[in-house]
Structure 1
Amino acid sequence: MDDQLIWATDQEGQIRLIAARTTDLVREAQRRHNSWPTATAALGRTMTAALLIGAMQKGDEKITLRILGDGPLGAVVAQSNGQGQVRGYVQNPDLDWPSKSPEKLDVGGAVGSTGHLHVTRDLGLKESYTGSAPLVSGEIAEDLTHYFATSEQTPSAVALGVLVNEDGSVQAAGGYILQLLPGVSEERIEDIEKQIQALGPISHFFASGKDLADLVEPLLPGHEKKVLAVKKPAFYCHCDRERLTVMLKSLGAQELAQMREEQGGAEVVCHFCSERFWFSAEDLTALEREVSGLE
């Protein structure tokens, strides 16, 4: 079953649901970063969350989600856009961290419950906008729920899950953000809360072979629905040699010369996708001359 993202509302526009199956893209992230189980779960949750938030943007408008806790995992960062493209990295992907139980990875312990969550929206304007909120558990879904309530004043239910097999491979991943807009009755809120409880862990929901239609129906129960968008999400990184050349030039001629003399070149690794780019001694010499205005 392919990854998919769906954005739907009830007929009255009072409930907004953005949901996604992200198994394939989390598998791709795990492969690229060679991450261990707890790091895979944290990165997969963060990438799924960034994808869901990014779905609210238009086209190339970007959002960056940063989870900065005091745990040993370090920073967890994901970036997405309105096209359903997402990339991400975790600072310590090879962290060996004990699980809470055989079926429960301790993401909260690895991330840490002291720190902050930041959502930066780049709308293509002169300045971007960043909203922040303290972490409450490090489990990411709970932290995002708190963020929406305090920073954006939007009551939300957030579910994120990554089911990792014993061999470290990803069995299933996905999540949703359900937001209540003004005018929702208490009766409907209670009904939705019951449905959320009945769904159980979202990773197990996707592992059971159910699709997004099986998720939309209970979360928008008993009412006509409007599907605003359906997309295929994908791991995508826009790094390339040209962008990294610009980055190297920003170091200045002296540092470029030092790398050339001491290392015989420079290897640049992209944080987001782990792609490696090699710049030979001749490449660095050309960049030195360009930076120095000799060409």
Structure 2
Amino acid sequence: MTDYLIKALAYNGQLRVYAIDTTETVRKAQRIHDTWSAATTAFGRAITATSLLSQSLLKGGNKMTVKIMGNGPTGTIVIDGTASGDVKGYLKEPHVHLPLNKQQKIDVKGAVGSSGLLEITKDLGLKMPFTGQVPLVSGELGEDFTYYMAKSEQIPSSIGVSVFVNNDNSVRTAGGFMVQAMPDADEAVLAEVEQNIANLPAISVMMAKKTIPEEIIYRICGQKNTQILDKVEISYRCDCSKERFAKSLASISPADLKLIIEEDHSAEVICHFCKKKYVFTEAELERLVKDI
């Protein structure tokens, strides 16, 4: 089944609302990086939140890079997202499994850490990309992305992200939502929606019961108050290529390339995002030296 995101307006345009199913996307990420339960949950939440923000903040061929730099055992988590719905990522330490927290849930805060930074760089096609940075406020990630939207983007928002991990580290469900208040939003509307969100079960639990993104939005805002605008396919897709890595190798000094040729007679490059391997033969490396 294809993952997708729904964009909607609610209460006569007072709210922008997004809901997303990232189950297959996070499953693919888990398989590629062989993540364990705590790392899978943190990684999946980061992928889901990045997909939500990409659809809210980007247009056309724009893209963003999210870096979660916490003091937990997963280390830095990096996610790239695009306006077209493609997402990819990696994390420093995928093999993180922790005891359940006090709520008997996977300890995402323990995996990510409660101290560190959330940094988002948006490439909007201008001369210089825009980078916003905020401190981590919880390590649970939903709250951290909500804080980023308020402080860096000046958009009052509520973001919820959830991943259900099976005992064998595979992903059962993953998804999330984001509600954004427009400047003229009525306080009574905001209070009603806030209460509805507080009463929601975990997104992953609802999705395990076959709740789709449209229904999540209706549970938050009410179907009669909601206008569905768009549906966007979401997928884990890496755009790496041998040509791109050749350009990276070409940035190495000729002396260092010659040393690789003399000692190894070839070079193997592995993509951080998809683990695909690219081998450059001695002849290919010599051509790179010549081109340089």
Q: TM-score, normalised by structure 2?
A: 0.95
Q: How far is the alpha carbon of 1:97 from its aligned partner?
A: 3.1
> Which residue number corresponds to residue 35 of structure 1?
35
1:182 is paired with a residue of what secondary structure?
coil
- Superposed counterparts of 1:175-214, under 5 Å: 175-214=176-215
The answer on whether the counterparts of 2:54 and 2:63 sit within 8 Å (CA) in structure 1 is: yes
Residue type at the aligned position of 1:235: Y
Q: Distance in 2 between matches of 1:207 and 1:245?
A: 44
Q: Which runs of 5+ in 2 are unaligned?
A: none
2:95 maps to 1:94:
yes
Q: Distance in 2 between matches of 1:217 and 1:114?
A: 35
Residue type at the aligned position of 1:82: A
Residue type at the aligned position of 2:260: M
> Which residue number corresponds to residue 259 of structure 2?
258
Q: Distance in 1 between matches of 2:2 and 2:104?
A: 25
Measured at CA, do residues 222 and 206 of structure 1 come closer, stay the same or move farther in structure 2, by a change above 3 Å?
Answer: closer
Q: Distance in 1 between matches of 2:39 and 2:267?
A: 28
The answer on whether the counterparts of 2:14 and 2:186 sit within 8 Å (CA) in structure 1 is: no
Q: How far is the alpha carbon of 1:129 from its aligned partner?
A: 0.7
CA offsets 1:145-204 (integer angstroms, 9 cap, x no match): 111222222221110011110001000000111111122222212211221122121111
> Which residue number corresponds to residue 171 of structure 1?
172
Residue type at the aligned position of 2:39: A
1:100 is paired with a residue of what secondary structure?
coil
1:172 is paired with a residue of what secondary structure?
strand
1:9 is paired with a residue of what secondary structure?
strand
- Superposed counterparts of 1:64-103, under 5 Å: 64-100=65-101
> Which residue number corresponds to residue 230 of structure 1?
231
Q: Distance in 2 between matches of 1:84 and 1:161?
A: 19
> Which residue number corresponds to residue 49 of structure 2?
49
> Which residue number corresponds to residue 160 of structure 1?
161
CA offsets 1:258-294 (integer angstroms, 9 cap, x no match): 2222223111111112111111222212212221xxx
> Which residue number corresponds to residue 283 of structure 2?
282
The answer on whether the counterparts of 2:6 and 2:232 sit within 8 Å (CA) in structure 1 is: yes
Residue type at the aligned position of 2:81: S
Q: How far is the alpha carbon of 1:223 from its aligned partner?
A: 4.2
The answer on whether the counterparts of 2:2 and 2:234 sit within 8 Å (CA) in structure 1 is: no
Q: How far is the alpha carbon of 1:11 from its aligned partner?
A: 5.1
Q: Distance in 1 between matches of 2:51 and 2:152?
A: 19
Aligned length: 291
> Which residue number corresponds to residue 220 of structure 2?
219
Q: Distance in 1 between matches of 2:172 and 2:223?
A: 32
Q: TM-score, normalised by structure 1?
A: 0.94
1:93 is paired with a residue of what secondary structure?
coil
> Which residue number corresponds to residue 14 of structure 1?
14
Measured at CA, do residues 95 and 18 of structure 1 come closer, stay the same or move farther in structure 2, by a change above 3 Å?
Answer: same
Segment of structure 1 superposing worse, 150-159 or 133-142? 150-159
Segment of structure 1 superposing worse, 54-63 or 182-191? 182-191
2:199 is paired with a residue of what secondary structure?
helix
Q: Distance in 1 between matches of 2:135 and 2:224?
A: 36
1:55 is paired with a residue of what secondary structure?
helix
Identity of aligned residues (%): 39
2:211 is paired with a residue of what secondary structure?
coil
2:180 is paired with a residue of what secondary structure?
strand
Q: Distance in 1 between matches of 2:224 and 2:3?
A: 26
The answer on whether the counterparts of 2:257 and 2:289 sit within 8 Å (CA) in structure 1 is: yes
Q: Distance in 2 between matches of 1:230 and 1:194?
A: 26
1:232 is paired with a residue of what secondary structure?
strand
Q: Distance in 2 between matches of 1:121 and 1:55?
A: 12
Q: Distance in 2 between matches of 1:263 and 1:101?
A: 51
